[in-house]
Amino acid sequence: MKKGWLAGCIIIVAVLAVLLFLSFWFVGIYNSMVQRNLAVDQQWGQVEAQYQRRYDLVPNLVAATKGYLKQEQAIFQMITDARTKYAGAATPDEKVAAANELETALGRLLAIIEDNPEIKSNQVVSDLMFELAGTENRISVERMRYNEKVGIYNTTVKTFPGRLLAGMFGFTERPFFEAQEGAETAPEVDLDVNP
């Protein structure tokens, strides 16, 4: 009878040990997904901070160049519209779309400034372009870091055993930053003021 009782205790302890191990394993996987999801959110905050920096620099650049570029009012309107959309954006996807519009307009403006020595030689414009170039580089770096964090998180959510827990706890794939369509083509600049 003692052997049966001892064998039963050993089985119970073994089952409890396996359950405890599995519990810790699943908790570890869950915590890993939470941490990686938060890392993606944190990195998105860094991207947003750089977007905000750009957002704050753009009006100064526009004001400094406006007097020289009377014929380019359409670009200034595009920049204003994109800034308005960014300010009103509620989701990361909306902010990315507005930021992409702003990038397109800024690309055209910067190309015009580069092609116009009179504007380019203005110290205020030069300083603002330097700041904006630094900001664009920071945005690029933060986007790259964001994509790295998203890649790690998405791998956790899509692979076994994370895939099992992801569905149960509502973890879903996160979107990557992708190059804007047409980003590989430089904007065309026409400084001809004659209609």
pLDDT tens for each residue of the chain, 195 residues long: 577 788 888 899 999 999 999 899 889 999 999 999 999 999 999 998 998 888 888 888 877 777 666 667 788 888 889 889 988 988 888 888 888 888 888 888 888 887 877 777 777 778 888 888 888 889 999 999 999 999 999 999 999 888 988 988 999 999 888 766 655 554 454 444 444
DSSP calls for the chain? -HHHHHHHHHHHHHHHHHHHHHHHHHHHHHHHHHHHHHHHHHHHHHHHHHHHHHHHHHHHHHHHHHTT-GGGHHHHHHHHHHHHHHHH--SHHHHHHHHHHHHHHHHHHHHHHHH-HHHHT-HHHHHHHHHHHHHHHHHHHHHHHHHHHHHHHHHHHHSTTHHHHHHHHT----PPP-PPTTTTSPPP-------
Burial of 65 (0-12, 13-18, 19+ CB in 10 A): buried
Query: Which residue in the block uniquely carries the two structure tokens 């089985």?
Result: 11
Does 37-169 carry CATH code 2.102.10.10? no
For the entire predicted model, the pTM comes to 0.69
